[in-house]
Amino acid sequence: MKVKLNLSNSETEIEIARHGADIAVKIGDKRISGRILQQEGPSLLLALAQPDGSERLLRVAGVAQGDKRQLWVDGRTFDYQRLIDRPAGSGAADTSSLSASIPSVVTQILVEPGDEVAAGDKLILLESMKMIMPIQAPYDGRVTAVQCQSGEAVQPGVPLIEIQPL
């Protein structure tokens, strides 16, 4: 996932990759690796690898509204916007898949193929650890596919719904 982060009135592009509990962050030429020690809803406890071989613990939490996000990192607040990856020269025919971020159960599907949605609209409701989490439209678009069913257990990264930008 790529995001733009406003740091000290300067826009910075950051790339984040997660594979299970392992996480890798790229900020310009700098690379940071770590692992997720604990996750409760939108809150994470991370162990980041340090150059001397030790680990630094970091508490992170965030909220999302469409493609706008707010992140809290050890008491500091950052506003950022998620970037939609599109190949160069691509147009509105591109589609993006949305998936769960943690193992969940689909409790309700709120849209069907052909529906037009606005950024921030709730598309699917998931339940995990007795919490209901919505999958929201990251931008205005049209639902092109729903690849899950109510009651289905889903894993992180598995496409649940596809949206074509308008």
How do residues 109-153 score in pLDDT, each as one tens digit?
999 999 999 888 999 999 988 889 899 988 888 999 999 999 999
What CA–CA distance (Å, rounded) separates 118 from 152? 25
Fold type of domain 2-83: Lipocalin (2.40.128)
DSSP codes, 131-156? EEEEEE-SSSEEEEEE---TT-EE-T
Q: What mean pLDDT is predicted for residues 87-112?
A: 74
The residues with which 22 forms a beta bridge, in sequence order, are 19, 35
Give the residue extent of every domain in the chain: 2-83, 96-165
Q: What mean pLDDT is predicted for residues 152-163?
A: 87
Check residue 159 and give its pLDDT: 86
Q: Which amino acid is at 109?
A: I
Side-chain half-sphere CA neighbours of 81 within 13 A:
8
> Dihedral of CA 133/135/140/144: which sign?
negative
Instruction: Pick the closest to residue 23 from 60, 52, 65 (CA basis).
Output: 60
Check residue 151 and give its pLDDT: 92
Q: In whole angstroms, what separates CA 141 from the centre of its chain?
A: 17
> Dihedral of CA 68/135/21/29: which sign?
negative
How do residues 31-78 score in pLDDT, each as one tens digit?
889 998 988 877 888 999 998 989 999 988 877 665 567 778 888 887
Residue 82 — pLDDT band, cuts 50, 70, 90? low
Check residue 10 and give its pLDDT: 73
Q: CATH says 96-165 is which class? A: mainly beta
